Amino acid sequence: MIKRSFFSLTQPRLKYDLLEADPKAPESIPIPPNLILLLNEALDNTKSIILKKGDKVKKGEKLSLYKDSTEYTISPVSGVINVIDTYSDDFGNKATYLVVRNDPQQASGEDIVKYELTDDIEVADQYLRTLPGAPPLKILASKENTIQTLVIMCTDQDILSTTAQYVAQSTMEEIKEGVRVLKRIANIMKMCLVVSQDTNMQTEFDGIQTFRVSKNYPSALPAMIMKDHLNMILPAGQSPEDVGVAFITAEAIVSIAKAYRTKTATYEKVLTVIGKDGQRHMIKATIGTPLRRIFNAFSLHINEKDRLIIGGPMKGFATYTHHHPVLPDMDTVIIQDRDLIPALSDNACINCGKCIKICPANIPVNLLVRLLEADQYEEAFDKFDLGSCIECGLCAYVCLARIPLYQYIRLGKHEFLKLKADA
Amino acid sequence: MNKYKLTVSHAPFWHDGDSLFQMNMNILLAALPAAIFGIFQFGASAFGVLALSVGSAMFWELVMNMVSKKPLSIGDLDAAVIGLMFGMMLPPITPWWVVITGTFVAVIVGKMIFGGIGANPFNPALIGMAILMLSWKAFFDFDTSLVDFVFDFTELAPLAAIKFQGAGAAEMFSVGDLFMGKEVGAIGSVFGLGLVLGGIYLILRGYIRWEISLSFIVGIIVTAFIFNMVNSENYAGPLFHLFSGYTLLGAFFLMTENSSSPVNTIPMFIYGFLGGLMIILMRNIGSYADGTVLAILLLNLVNPLIDNIRPKALGKGENNA
Ligand code: SF4
Ligand code: SF4
């Protein structure tokens, strides 16, 4: 953990981690006997479900809960569905998880599903959404917003992770291939590539601009890239796709390239796993692999009260179970020792101003927090710029009173959107 | 299916390690040189006043915590800071009951009834001072308070001297003496060098906002300089004002109290400068010898208005490309 320096007249600087010069190839984790797949749709007792316990599934088969579902997941193995149950996330949003028992016997040649991928983004969206890197095909295929600019992220958004950099560096040729596919299937006017300032990655592309972002967090967050490199200020309360910009990871582009080449899906996700000793392990695991398998493979220990962080230290989330599966967009997993977990408090804001100094979006966090604590979301949005927050987490990182500011802000946004939707 | 329970909480999972306790500890530490100097200069009674002030401030907060059935908050040392600041503003000989009444007003009226730490619109220690000065003016006459002391420097409180004898009296005090604490005054306000060192320490550590201290000092110097230029017979020079009375205590410890001061850049400069300006106006035109206490309280009062001047948030208004 990076502590404030003894003298801190200037801002603390959180820096992105740079991929080492000569990275080792990721170690592959064998496919586990049971895989856990998340489906972004809640179980609904009033509808008749088309997936059942005991159903046989094929490798590459598209799985949805209901006939009219738009959400799906793809089974990375051939086998049998063992469990269908509810999963709820941080905010109490409901989703569903499936456990698929892997049956290697079943996975003979003709049991692997081939996709009819035509040069149409909507067809791609039918099959490729849950590929490693989680391609934003839903956004690209959406009729509501036309995406004019696609930003390919060859750098990591949160600190500590080097997954995106590794994938980008090791698969440049496939990224080019993926760009050609996307140009063919989607009508995107402009594509650009984001790399870290200090990388020596070769990014020579025809007709694609390369942006170099600084190594200071949060310069690689979408809103910051738009501001610094695209000269677009994200209007308060809107997401990049609302203004025609989409972000895609290098890994997702590569997945698309492979899918179009082979007409099948790929399932191996690259991720950085960081143990308590701070040691980084680059691994490759099949989507759906329970994290426990990975920890066992590297003898990484977790004890009572430790924290298991998915995503980075600034923007990630903590899971309550080591059975949590590898997900298509999971770049980093961190085991944080319980002794290193910073204590939060229920202090009130003391108006120290540290959050104001560090906030990249000029948000009056000291005033905002008072409204959020009082559940006044609308006023928080209208008068105190809740919608402008780019969700970097820096305010909570420095808060002297140790208020969980970032959580308040995320919850506030969530509640506000709910209010608006209900109105 | 889980063998053990993991800690589940929310991002960010890192913190820079700072806390209220750290901050207050550092403020106490930074105030020590000036406080200890005061004890050496004025003797055991000064120590008694400081100890009683800190102790009683913490005691009042504890009582209030228990009465209102809130979690105990004295551990964050905020009450200790209020107590020390209050004690440092007192003359070395102050009756015990004045001290504990003062800390009562400071902690209970100045802080707790507004909702505790962070909710006080005024600097609590100054609230305590203001009430005492209105109620028992006589105890704050440094000259009578110290009449039994013998010093090897001018035995007159500098600001009172110029108030009653005119600016010419300022010549009795060399700026060097004032800076080095060779003056009659409050326990913690005489040792200019100590206050400046403490202040610089806090600025470097990031525990006070330099914008406020700097603009406050500029406000003092500029205003006093203009007065002095216009009429040097009636008005003492800028350095005299800077190093006498509560000025330096104000610059680094009082104006900068978090909850009652602005956090945005331009407001901090305005607030600091106006603070300095008000003090000199009160000293030169008003009827007060010092004026620091009331001037800062006045600025606390307008702070919410000043702090409204803030930059546009990302994606709002004119920065919208
Ligand atoms: S998370 Fe905090 S620091 Fe970051 S943009 Fe939002 S309010 Fe500002
Ligand atoms: S950092 Fe925390 S305590 Fe300080 S002003 Fe911001 S919200 Fe308040």
Q: What is the pLDDT of residue B161?
A: 85
* Distance from C-alpha of A39 to C-alpha of A404, rounded to nearest angstrom: 29
* Distance from C-alpha of A257 to C-alpha of A177, rounded to nearest angstrom: 6
Longest Cα separation, chain A:
66
Average pLDDT over chain A, rounded to whole? Answer: 88
Q: What is the pLDDT of residue A395?
A: 94
What are the residue boundaries of the structural domains of chain B, listed by start? 20-138, 156-306
DSSP letters along B193-210, please? HHHHHHHHHHHHHTSS-H
Q: What is the pLDDT of residue A20?
A: 84
Q: Is residue A2 part of a domain?
A: no
Q: How many domains does chain A have?
A: 2
Judged against a pLDDT cut of 80, whether residue A111 lies above it is answered with: no
Write out pLDDT tens, residues A128-151.
999 999 999 999 998 888 899 999
Judged against a pLDDT cut of 90, whether residue B222 lies above it is answered with: yes
Nearest ligand, CA of residue A359?
1
Percentage of the residues of chain B whose pLDDT score is greater than 90 = 64
pLDDT category of residue A9 using cuts at 50, 70 and 90: low
Q: What is the pLDDT of residue A189?
A: 87
Judged against a pLDDT cut of 80, whether residue A202 lies above it is answered with: no
* Distance from C-alpha of B289 to C-alpha of B91, rounded to nearest angstrom: 15
Q: What is the ipTM of this complex?
A: 0.88
Average pLDDT over residues B68-82: 91
* Distance from C-alpha of A324 to C-alpha of A89, rounded to nearest angstrom: 12
B-chain CB neighbours of A361 within 8 Å are 313-315
Q: What is the pLDDT of residue B320?
A: 41
Average pLDDT over chain B, rounded to whole? Answer: 90
Average pLDDT over residues A340-354: 88
Q: Is residue A105 part of a domain?
A: yes
Q: Which of A111, A144, A169 is the last residue of a domain?
A: A111
Q: What is the pLDDT of residue A4?
A: 66
Which of A8, A346, A350, A394 to mutate to test ligand 2, by most ligand atoms within 8 A of the CB atom?
A350
Task: For chain B, positions 127-146, list CB contacts with chain A under 8 A.
Answer: none
The separation between CA B24 and the C-alpha centre of its own chain, rounded to angstroms, equals 14
Judged against a pLDDT cut of 50, whether residue A298 lies above it is answered with: yes
A-chain CB neighbours of B316 within 8 Å are 235-236, 385, 388
Q: Is residue A361 part of a domain?
A: yes
Which residue, among A97, A400, A402, A413, would best test binding to B if mutated, counting the most B CBs under 10 Å from its CB?
A400
Judged against a pLDDT cut of 70, whether residue B134 lies above it is answered with: yes
Q: What is the pLDDT of residue A109?
A: 59
Judged against a pLDDT cut of 50, whether residue B319 lies above it is answered with: no
Which of A216, A370, A392 to mutate to test ligand 1, by most ligand atoms within 8 A of the CB atom?
A392
Higher pLDDT, B2 or A67: A67
Judged against a pLDDT cut of 70, whether residue A7 lies above it is answered with: no
User: Cα–Cα distances in Å, from B200 out to A156, B176, B193?
Assistant: 38, 19, 11
Domain carrying residue A416: 354-422
- Please state at what angle helix B124-135 crosses helix B96-104, rounded to 10 degrees: 130
Q: Which of A55, A76, A111 is the last residue of a domain?
A: A111
Q: Is residue A396 part of a domain?
A: yes
Q: Which of A111, A138, A167 is the last residue of a domain?
A: A111
Q: What is the pLDDT of residue B317?
A: 63
Gap from CA of A398 to ligand 2 centroid (Å)? 8
Q: Is residue A411 part of a domain?
A: yes
Higher pLDDT, A63 or B170: A63
Residues lining ligand 1, CB < 6 A? A 358-361, 363, 365, 389-395, 406, 409
Gap from CA of A395 to ligand 1 centroid (Å)? 5
Q: Is residue A147 part of a domain?
A: no
Judged against a pLDDT cut of 90, whether residue B8 lies above it is answered with: no
Q: Is residue A99 part of a domain?
A: yes
pLDDT category of residue A393 using cuts at 50, 70 and 90: very high
Among B258, B259, B263, B254, CA closest to B292: B254
Most trustworthy range by pLDDT among A212-226, A326-340, B24-38, B232-246:
B24-38
Residue B119 corresponds to which tokens in the numbers above?
Answer: 């909710």
Is B317 in the A-facing interface, judged by CB distances under 8 Å? no
Write out pLDDT tens, residues A172-189.
889 999 999 999 998 888
Higher pLDDT, B307 or B318: B307
Integer Rg of chain A from CA: 22
Q: Is residue A171 part of a domain?
A: no
Judged against a pLDDT cut of 60, whether residue A33 lies above it is answered with: yes
Average pLDDT over residues B77-95: 94
Write out pLDDT tens, residues B177-198.
888 988 888 999 999 999 999 9
